[in-house]
Structure formats: structure tokens, C-alpha cells
Structure 1
Amino acid sequence: MQTEIRLAADDGFSLPGVLTLPRTGEPPYPALVMIYEAFGMNDEMRRIARDLAAEGYAVLIPDLFARGRVTALCVARAMRTVRRGHGRELDDIEAARRWLADRPEVDAERIGTIGFCLGGSFALLLAGSGRYKVSAPFYNLPMPVPRACPLVASYGGRDRTTRGFGDRLEARLTELGVPHDVRTYPEAGHSFQSRPPGLIGALTKYTPFRAEYHAPTAEDAHRRIVAFFREHLDGRRSID
């Protein structure tokens, strides 16, 4: 079940979002705060949320671009927040996490985060916040990782912007003693988990991102993250 919601941000702004709940199973559910890619809230992000809900997770996508009228400016501001490690977008994500934790359908002790592209960078930042049980960043910006919760990360080998970061991240998580599953898919580029929308999205496959949906990789990444969530978020060892 997927519904449009609004929640109160820390500054009083009525922040919209999309909440997707499982259709089966008994609440309270384990939950995920999902942060979308640079294309913003679109059908592909909603589809991924439904796919995760079908596995038993309540999924909230806060609309971090809702405060602005020009998407490019929203992306630039969000990127600045990622680089600084603080800012309004992180405040809005935290407000969304608290709202989700207060829902009667959600187990507040079992909340993780997942993000794609720009959202993947937020998911990696949040992995070190101490507020999430698990994090699943996809093709995020390369960045230092001083600390982390259990982490399952996915990258495309054809994506020049993240080249080598998967290996560095795996080495760092091993050094930290953090449970992890990091994989770089040789045949995939950036944004392999979703279909980039519109003409600009289609043209990104000709950029250093090599951004293009890659079904076999998307299916394997979904399988991996669900298996990881089963163990480190749900407390189960395998996919039912």
C-alpha cells in the first residue's frame, strides 16, 4: 500500500513524502528511510519502494526537493550538504526517521536506510550516525568512512565516477570490523537499479557515469540487500 504523506520538519515546513507498507505480514514492520537519486521523486523510486515493501519492509521516501522549484538547485544544495556533513536535507531526513519510528506499523528499533546516487551518499553518511541498524548505499560519491553500521553497498564497474571506491570501502569496513557486503558489478554503470527518466536520463549513459538500467545486476543487488537486511535488520539468516 503506497500513500502520499506529510510530516513536520524541524523548522515547521510540511514535508511531503511517500510511505509504502507491506500488504502481508503482521506489524510492527522493520522499516527503511529511502533517499532518492538526483532525479527526485519519480515512478522508479516508487517502484523500488514497492519492491522492498513486498519483502516485508515499511519504506518512507521523504521528498527532499519539495522546498525548491528548480531541481538542479535542489541537487546542488543537497550535494553541498553531503560534502559538509550537515545541512537542511540531513535535518529533513532525521525528521522523516522520527516520523517513521512513531508510526504504529513500524518497529522503531529496526530502522535502516537505503539510497541511490545522491541518496546513496546520504545513506553512507547516515551509516555513521548511530541512528540506523543497517545502510544500503548505491553508487554514492566516494567519501571517507570514519564509522558505520552494518553496510551493504553496490557499484557499477563501468561507472568512472566511483572507480575503485568499492574496494576501498570494503577494506575500510574490514578495518572497522563492520559486517558488510560490498560488490562492484563489472557489466553495470551508474544508476543500474533504476531507469533514468527523460532525455537527460537517457543521455547519461554516454557520460562518465555510464548510467543505464541493467536488469541482471538490479535483480542480484535486490537479492543481496534483502538477504543482508534479513540478517542485520530483521534478525533472520535467510530470505524466506
Structure 2
Amino acid sequence: MGVTIDAPGGPMAAHLSRPDSGEQWPGVLVVHDALGMTADLRCQADWLAENGYLALAPDLYHRGGRLRCMFSTLRALAAGRGPVFDDLEAARSRLVAQPGCSGRVGIIGFCMGGNIALMLAGSGHYDVSSVNYGDIDEGRLPTLADACPIVASYGARDRSLRDTPARLERTLAEYDVERDIEVYPTAGHGFLNDHRGETPVWALIAGWYAHTGYDEAAAADARMRILAFFGQHLTT
């Protein structure tokens, strides 16, 4: 269902998905990729709700214009500050305040959203983070010293993130952060997204280098791992 969040920059649309049964559930903030709010993102939130999580997916491009918002968000991520972080905190606060939220909250992100999920893992605001083909700048690796448990998934054919899984494993091992990092041999970038029909041409061209595309087997295994990890850290 569509909801509106009172964000610092004005009303922000979001997709809220509730489980069909039960009275109290852990919350999960669902962070979109560079394409913004899409059918795929709503399906990811619905999938989490089907598995017992109160899922909220905010439209971080609510200020208008996909490309303008995308570049603004990427600049904010590079700087480590900016309106997008205010929007994310507003969304997290709304999620925690939702009737039925148990108070335990995870974050899951895809591509650009995976970068965000990794950056916010050390913020102290989340109990668990699911990073899907996400990265973090070398200079920000020390922020992971206090990170929550992280489950991360990558595709071996994704040339844009070739060194990321090993670097993340080394860093989290150094800081003794609980983790589950998997690299799928047959998958490329974006392998959890089976809604490629809504991808604009410019994104398809950019995705060639990263072998972007859905991989059914990798997606099924990644979802199984994510649910197991979330179950361990959000429901127990």
C-alpha cells in the first residue's frame, strides 16, 4: 500500500507491505537501486512481508526527476552526508512507529541501495543489514568497526564489483563483525531483479559491463540466506 512520510525535504511517497497474519513483526527498510521506485522494489518489499516482516520502501527520488535525483544521491553517498540520509532516517523512524512493528529493524538494499545498506550498517540504527551488490568507499571501511551483522550477495560476473566481496570479507573479519558473504559464479549485477522490462536504455547500456541480469538460481539461494540471517537477528 502507498503511504506518505513526512521527510525534511517534503512529503515522501513509500510502499508499505504488511504480513497477512500476526500482530507484531520486525521491520525492514527496503532501499531501491539507481532506478528509483520500481515494480521490482515493491515486489521485494512484498516478498519480505510474505515472510513475516513489516517492510517499508521509500522513494528517495521524491524531490523529482530520476536522473537529477540519482546524481544528487550518488554525490551524497560520496560525501557521506546530504538530504538522502535525512530521508532514510525519516523512513526508519516511520517504520519503527508503525503499529505492529516490534522495534527491531533491518535494512536491505540493492545496487545503490546496497551501498546505503552497507554505509548504514555501522550507524547503530539497525539490527541487521542485507547488502546486495553494494560497495563502500575505501576510506569509509573503518565505519564498519561497529557494524551490525551483514549478509551480502554478489555475482562473480559483475566486473564493477570484482574486488568488493574479498575486501568486505577482510574488513569484517578484522572487526569481528558477524557476516555471511556469498559470490555466485553464474550471476552478474542485479541478479535479484526479474523486472528487466522497466529498465531504461541508458541503464541497459551501463549494465553491459556488469553483466546485469536476473539469475533465478542465485536469486533463490540469496533469498534463502537473507531470510535465515534476518530470522536469526530480527526474530530471536
Does 2:119 align with 1:120?
Answer: no
With normalisation by structure 2, the TM-score equals 0.93
Give the Å deviation of 1:203: 4.2
SS at structure 2 position matched to 1:135: strand
Does 2:77 align with 1:77?
Answer: no
1:222, 1:103 → 2: CA distance? 25
Structure 1: runs of 5 or more not aligned: 236-240
Tell me the C-alpha RMSD between the 2 structures.
1.3
Give the Å deviation of 1:140: 1.3
Q: How many residues in Structure 1 have an aligned counterpart in Structure 2?
A: 228
Does 2:95 align with 1:100?
Answer: yes
- Bigger mean CA deviation after superposition, 223-232 or 192-201: 192-201
Give the Å deviation of 1:198: 3.5
Does 2:8 align with 1:10?
Answer: yes
Give the Å deviation of 1:184: 1.1
- Structure with bigger helix share is 2
Give the Å deviation of 1:202: 4.4
Kept after mapping to 1: 8 A contact 2:153/2:222 = yes
Which residue is equivalent to 1:153?
152
Match of 1:21 among 13, 18, 35: 18
Give the Å deviation of 1:5: 0.1
Match of 1:130 among 118, 124, 127: 124
Give the Å deviation of 1:186: 1.3
Kept after mapping to 2: 8 A contact 1:204/1:210 = no
Q: Percent identity?
A: 38
Which residue is equivalent to 2:39?
43
Which residue is equivalent to 1:228?
229
Kept after mapping to 2: 8 A contact 1:204/1:212 = no
Change (3 A) 1:159 1:142: farther
SS at structure 2 position matched to 1:101: helix
Q: Match for 1:178: what amino acid?
A: V
1:156-167 correspondence runs (5 A): 156-167=155-166
Give the Å deviation of 1:104: 1.6
